[in-house]
Structure 1
Amino acid sequence: MGKTLAESLKMLLNETFEGPENGGSYYTDTRPNAGIFGTLEDVGAEDASLSIHGSTIAAHADHIRYYLWVIRTMISGEEFEKDWGASWTISQVDEAKWTEIKEGLQTEYHTLLAEIDTIDLEEWLTNVNATIAHSAYHLGALRQMLKALESEK
């Protein structure tokens, strides 16, 4: 029997954030920790604060967190004002702020993942798909930024 729509969406979100399962992949590589969380795991605050091509790893991570929050807030029906520019203001972070960003990203991801089972997917399918695509884009950007850092060391 095939996967349900909710199972499929959660599997793709999982690959983007946690990495692929069971040695197979749809669009990331198959190495362990290939998702966003594994990519950020060993990045310290100092490296997360370095400007690379006009942005920082910390800004990308916080922007992903903000995007997830926006989608979840829209789904919940709460009134709010989006401020995409504010989601890019993070530049310099200390270890405490960097930990806060990564923990906030984990919280938003896990909350959205759980909500997929409770929302009307016909109504929110485009938003959830956009979340996967948007986050996968930033995963690629983060990896390129880390490669640029490695080549400078």
Structure 2
Amino acid sequence: MNDMLKKSFKVLLKETFDGPGGNGSWYTESKPGSGIFGTLERVSAEEASIPVQGTTLAAHVDHTRYYLWMVNTYMKGEKPDLDWSESWKISSVDEDTWSRFKANLQNEYTTLLENIHSLTSLDEQTSYGILGSLAHSAYHLGAIRQMTKTVKAPTQS
């Protein structure tokens, strides 16, 4: 597989999850901590459980993890049994569950980077999976960042 294409996938995924590197960004805010993980570091379990427009930050995080898990499962040559609605049912989390959700997302993200690194060829399913994971995660990064502004907004007295 083309090494430049693999590198491009990984650079854009890293920007989405880890934030931009030291030399600016391709599409996110060019500040440290502006990726998914940096944004989530500033969110408590209580804040992750506040409903915003019918869902929670916790649900967005688990849904993003679920999508990455699905792509990773397909990349192993397996077909996952999917139930997309399950990840959206999360309404509240305690600190332990919130920490686990973030760790599970980190694990699926790391696994995806490893899977991309080990690719020797790229079939249609894998190509769509990788590009879909990038687009899907970037969408949720935007949603997470907007929701974070809402749950951290100063309260009106």
TM-score between both structures, scaled by the size of structure 2: 0.92
Contact 1:23/1:31 (CA < 8 Å) preserved in 2? no
Q: For residue 152 of structure 1, report the CA deviation from its aligned partner.
A: 4.5
Match of 1:97 in 2: 97
Are positions 1:121 and 2:108 aligned together? Answer: no
Unaligned residue ranges in structure 1 (runs of 5+): none
* Structure 1 runs (4+) greater than 6 angstroms displaced: none
Cα distance in 1, alignment partners of residues 132 and 106 from structure 2: 18
Question: For the residues of structure 1 that align with 2:117 and 2:80, how far apart are their CA atoms?
Answer: 24
* 2:51 alignment partner in structure 1: 51
Secondary structure in 1 aligned to 2:153? helix
Give the residue type in structure 2 aligned to 1:38.
Answer: G
State the partner residue of 1:143.
145
Distance of 2:128 and 2:44 partners within structure 1? 34
Give a deviation string over 1:41-96, Cα, whole Å, max 9, x none.
12110000010110000000000000000011011122321100011111110000
CA, structure 1 residues 51+152, in 2 after alignment: closer, same or farther (shift >3 Å)? farther
Give the aligned CA root-mean-square deviation in angstroms: 1.5
Given that 1:19 and 1:36 are in contact with CA atoms closer than 8 Å, whether structure 2 keeps it comes out as: yes
Alignment partner, residue 78 of structure 2: 78
Instruction: Give the alignment of 1:11-90 within 5 angstroms.
Output: 11-90=11-90
Separation in 1, partners of 2:128, 2:45? 34
Stretch of structure 1 that moved more, 95-104 or 3-12: 3-12
SS of 1:26 mapped into structure 2: coil
Measure how far apart 1:122 and its partner are.
3.8
Report the Cα distance in structure 1 between the residues aligned to 2:92 and 2:81, rounded to whole angstroms.
Answer: 25
Deviations 1:92-116 (A, max 9, x none): 1000000000000000000100110
SS at structure 2 position matched to 1:151: coil
Deviations along 1:6-51, one digit per CA (max 9) or x if unpaired, are 0000000000000011231111011101100001012110000010
Could you tell which deviates more after superposition, 141-150 or 103-112? Answer: 141-150
Aligned to 2:80, the other structure's residue is in SS state coil
> Please, what TM-score do these two structures have when normalized by structure 1?
0.94
Does the 8 Å contact 1:59/1:91 carry over to 2?
Answer: yes
The residue type paired with residue 44 of structure 1 is: S
What CA distance in whole angstroms lies between the structure 1 residues aligned with 2:98 and 2:147? 16
